[in-house]
Amino acid sequence: MKLKFFLRLIGPLIFVVLFYVYVDAGALIHVLMASRWSFFIVSLALIPPLIFIRSIRWQIILSKYDISYTKWQCFKMYFVEMVAIMVVATVGTFAKAVYLKRDGHGLLQPLLSILAEKYYDYLLPLIFGAISVFLVWIKLSSDIGLALFILMTCLAFIPARKACLLLSPRFFPKRLKKLLLKKGWNLNEHVLKIHDLLNFRIYIYSMVAFGLYFLSIYLLTKGLNLELSFFQVVLIMTITSLITLIPISFLGIGTRDAGLLAVFAFFGHTPEQAVALSMALLLLRIAIVFMGSLFWFIDPPPLSELKQLNPN
């Protein structure tokens, strides 16, 4: 635990070094002072609809496991998960499962339902990013480009679903595999069930949710007066998100800045603009945590049960 904590201090150290070497504090203040904060408010306002769409997706998946919850209940649990991820990192990804365990549904099927929705959550940013590379390269008009973007993303469902089936055995966490074996359940059967769950309807919900996410970031760039197209924003955030997966920072501080500095230079933007966007993204993330904290304090999740991974 101590080693993981000290590793995450590398990120803030990277930020300090990058700021000292590349950033002009005066120019950064100028960028921030010229910002239009109304765009930040609209960007933040897109988060609840995004969470609601993901909640509907999860509700549909739960129903396939004969678990029934209202959209509002799923919405609240999803927001709590956003906070839990900040508190307990990887374990927080499965925070929703403890509520279902508490309600008598065990832990195994809730974990499988969460695992099922994560496939597209990991694949779609890569799909969005790959399509954006193509659209940025051919420089289409915004209307035609958006139509082509949607069409290509929809068509990507077929290879994406096949990829899910191929990756499923490797994607299962080791502790979950042990849990399945302990219960005497067939891993291949659950892999096939998850594959059946990942139909086009679930894909569309995932696609719309990510569309709202990238739109919220695009609005942040507009608020900072950055001349970036929607597809450039998607490409930038895809690359940056991959870099922030490296577990050496808190809330992406340092790793996100390094990614943005590198990609912004490619698009002809200044280090100060990159850091300004990074700060706006951090502020957005903190605001989301505060929103989720309301549900957390009303009904805090018993996370100690999740760490044990012991079903009823």
Q: Tens digit of pLDDT for each residue in 71-112?
A: 999 999 998 888 877 665 556 677 888 889 888 888 788 888
Helix (H) or strand (E) holding 195: helix 187-197
For residue 132, tell me if it sits in a domain: yes
Q: Contact 65/275 with Cβ under 8 angstroms?
A: no
For residue 8, tell me if it sits in a domain: no
For residue 136, tell me if it sits in a domain: yes
For residue 110, tell me if it sits in a domain: yes
For residue 28, tell me if it sits in a domain: no
**Torsion angle defined by CA atoms of residues 182, 183, 187 and 188, in that order, rounded to the nearest 10 degrees:** 140
For residue 151, tell me if it sits in a domain: yes
Total-model pTM: 0.89
Dihedral sign of CA atoms 146, 39, 218, 80 in order = negative
Confidence of residue 249 (pLDDT cuts 50, 70, 90): confident
Number of folded domains that form the chain? 1
Distance CA(215)–CA(142), nearest Å, equals: 14
Q: What is the pLDDT of residues 181-216, one digit of tens each?
A: 776 666 667 777 887 888 999 999 999 999 999 999
For residue 3, tell me if it sits in a domain: no
Q: What is the pLDDT of residues 113-158, one digit of tens each?
A: 888 888 888 889 889 999 998 888 887 767 788 889 999 999 999 9
For residue 119, tell me if it sits in a domain: yes
Segments forming the whole domain that contains residue 170: 38-300
